Structure formats: C-alpha cells, structure tokens
Amino acid sequence: MFREIKMKQTIIQVDAFTSQVFRGNPAAVCVLTAAQDDQWMQLVAQEMNLSETAFLIKQDQDYSLRWFTPTTEVPLCGHATLASAHVLWTEGYASTGQSLNFQTKSGLLTARYQDNWIELDFPANRSQDIPPITKLQDALGVLIKTFSYNSLGYLVELHSPEQVKQLQPNFALIKQLPISQVIVTSLAAANSEYDFISRFFAPGLGIDEDPVTGAAHCCLAPYWRERLQKDNFLAYQASHRGGVVKINYSGGDRVLLQGQAITVMRGELL
C-alpha cells in the first residue's frame, strides 16, 4: 500500500517550450511539502496522464527533482525541468534573479532566467553510428539516411523535413526493437528560420509521441554540431503541438537549452 498524503498538495500544469497555451509539451509540477513514496508519485503521474509529472522538494539551497511518465520513472526530462523552474519562479518560491539547482538521477542540473527564456544546463548525449536496422526502417515506413544510437534511444536522420513531419510510425514495431525510443530528425527547409527539426517516439515509456523533448535535444546538439560546424541552433520539434528550443553547444560535456513556458491550470491533490 502507498502512504496516503498527509496534506493538500498544489499541482500545476505548464506548457513548456512554448509561449502559447495548448502548444509545446504539457507537464504537471508538484512542489511537495513532505516526502512521498515512489508508488504514490507514480499513481499521481498515472492520474495526470501527461508525458511527465515532476516532483520537487526543497533540500537546503537546492531542490530534489524526479520525473514520472504515466508508467515509469525516467532519469532525465527537459520539458518538465523547464516547467519546474517556471513554477518555482512564477509561484514565488524563488526570484528570477536566482539560479535554481536541481539534484536528479542525472546529476546536478541548473536553470536560470534570461530575457524571458529559461536556460537549462544539461548533460550532452553523443550518438554512435550503427549499421542500418531493417525493423527500425520498417517501423518508420520511410527511407532512413543515417542510423545512430545513444543512451536515450535511436537517432535517425531522414532526407527531408517533409518526411519528418508526415511520418506515421508503427508503434507496435517500435516496441519490438531492442530500444523502443526513437529520435527522428532532418535539416529544416532552406527558407526556414530553424536549423533542424525533429520528432521523438517513446512507446516503451508509455508515450507514443512526446510533443517537445529537452533530453532529445541533448542528443541532437552534438549530432548537428558535427554536421553543420556551428555552436548555436534554433530547433523545432514538429509534433502536432510543436515547440521551439534554442541550443548552445560548444563541443563539451554540457549543452545549454533555452525554452519558454506558460501556466495552464492550477489544482490541489486531496
């Protein structure tokens, strides 16, 4: 049995990597007044039924931060970290002039407020080239230009942004792969303001398609830096909701992601 909550907890839903409501990636954020057990947090995430629910609790000057999908805990989540920083600043837990430190299963993550954008300092995630995987190509139903993988999942490049946008994966086939998470990317159109676009599919985590994925851009930054020979990118995740990510990556072990966020609703867990 999970331990029942001892008092009401505020939970706030935020759309991340966007400045418009009902766009970007929604995350629920719960700033805990007392520690709760893992099963309770998993059940709350299941109840919220969003790609991620974040749980924060103050620890000295830092915050402990954990992320749950409706089915499992994950080691890293960009959009729910962005949403968490937004909640701490907009709800009066911290000043926007104050950087935030998050203790997580991926180590120390930091956030700072800069010119109406939130900047996250995350670990870079480099990919390794691999031979073509027929089942992966069958699952995506499109000719793949390059195959690689990293600790998040597969990363494949397609030949055009239209292919990325029109993709209709076979999620049952993706679940049968050794890794059931796939980042799909391409260069943006020649007349676009963006450098590249992407989508992220994670049926093995209970998320067929994640609307905007910070962790995926930790993989995409090294991938596109090597190919485009530049450090700064403006990226678009081309899900049906869509979202914008600014990236700075100079080739080290850390990548800076910037996004915006907006509160959609506020409630209480009883």
Output the domain CATH number for residue 265.
Answer: 3.10.310.10
The pLDDT of residue 8? 80
pLDDT, tens digit, for every residue of 132-145?
Answer: 999 999 999 999 99
- Is 182 contained in some domain? yes
Number of Cβ atoms within 10 Å of the Cβ of 73:
16
pTM: 0.94
Catalytic residue, chosen from 4, 47, 52, 226, is: 52
Looking at the fold, whether 134 and 236 belong to one and the same domain comes out as yes
- Distance CA(43)–CA(41), nearest Å, equals 5
Looking at the fold, whether 164 and 189 belong to one and the same domain comes out as yes
Q: Of 27, 140, 41, 136, which Cα lies nearest the Cα of 86? A: 27
Q: Is 52 a catalytic residue?
A: yes
Looking at the fold, whether 180 and 222 belong to one and the same domain comes out as yes
- Is 3 contained in some domain? no
- Is 50 contained in some domain? yes
Looking at the fold, whether 89 and 107 belong to one and the same domain comes out as yes
- Is 226 contained in some domain? yes
Looking at the fold, whether 133 and 248 belong to one and the same domain comes out as yes
Number of domains present in the structure of the chain = 2
DSSP 3-state assignment of 104?
strand
- Distance CA(197)–CA(204), nearest Å, equals 23
Looking at the fold, whether 146 and 189 belong to one and the same domain comes out as yes
Domain containing 96: what range?
A: 9-123+259-269
Residue 251 falls in which region: left (phi positive, over 0), alpha (psi -120 to 50) or beta = left
The pLDDT of residue 7? 61
- Distance CA(237)–CA(244), nearest Å, equals 7
- Distance CA(196)–CA(22), nearest Å, equals 23
Low-confidence ranges of the chain (pLDDT < 50): 1-3, 5
Looking at the fold, whether 110 and 135 belong to one and the same domain comes out as no
Parallel, antiparallel, or unpaired: how do β-strands 9-16 and 261-269 relate? antiparallel
The pLDDT of residue 101? 98
Parallel, antiparallel, or unpaired: how do β-strands 100-104 and 62-68 relate? parallel
Q: Residues near 190 by Cβ (< 8 Å), separated by ≥ 6?
A: none
